[in-house]
Amino acid sequence: MTESTPPAMPPAPMAPPPAMAATGRPTGATVIAVIEGIIGVLALLAGLLFMVGMSVVGGIAGSQTDTQGLGGVFAGVGIVFGVIIILIALLYLAIAYGVWKGRGWSWMLGMVVSIIAIVFGVLGLTGGISVGSIISLALPIVVVYFLWQPEVKRWLGRPA
């Protein structure tokens, strides 16, 4: 009688790998990059619109004989706040680029900017709850959540 070998055991089931995009980028990193990119582009447009709008308002106010000095104030305030908004937009775009490319510095920058955005989002809720105030609070919370995911942290060179 010949001895037969027992049938081979199937390999033990393994946990599914984390969701990755085709490039090896975790899905969470893609979500972060898209959210931050959209916010960055919208903020950039808002800053430019604010600068142009306040300059037009300043021009209209300056054309009136009794408010000539006020026109320069409107235009100046528009330029200052427009530049501030554009700088914030550049921060968001830098985070989007850094997370998309897997740059380690983008994790810390994303955390700092998102936590500041959460604080301002909570302060925005004190003026009343609206769809805009909920979105301005929810998006940075989503970004912080994904930044803490182990596969995103590994993608950005952070210990998971």
Any domain includes 109:
yes
Between the alpha carbon of residue 37 and those of residues 17, 33, 81, 143, the distances in Å are 27, 6, 21, 12
Neighbour-count burial of 142, counting CB atoms closer than 10 A to its CB (0-12 exposed, 13-18 middle, 19+ buried) = middle
Task: List, in sequence order, every residue forming a beta bridge with 26; answer none if it has no partner.
Answer: 20
Quote the number of domains for the chain: 1
Any domain includes 118:
yes
Any domain includes 116:
yes
pLDDT the model gives residue 63: 79
Nearest-angstrom CA–CA distance, 94 and 33? 9
Any domain includes 160:
no
Any domain includes 102:
yes
Handedness of CA 74, 77, 83, 85 (dihedral sign): negative
Any domain includes 58:
yes
Any domain includes 100:
yes
Tens digit of pLDDT per residue, the chain (160 long)?
556 666 666 666 655 555 555 568 999 999 999 999 999 999 999 999 999 999 888 888 877 767 667 888 888 899 999 999 999 999 999 999 999 999 999 999 999 999 999 999 999 888 888 898 899 999 999 999 999 999 999 999 998 7
Any domain includes 16:
no
pLDDT the model gives residue 18: 55
Nearest-angstrom CA–CA distance, 102 and 37? 15
pLDDT digits (tens, 9 = 90+) for 45-75: 999 999 999 988 888 887 776 766 788 888 8
Residue type, 85: I
Contacts of 66 (CB under 8 A, 6+ apart): none
Nearest-angstrom CA–CA distance, 151 and 131? 31
Q: How far, in whole angstroms, is CA 93 from its chain's centroid?
A: 8
Range of the domain at 107: 27-155
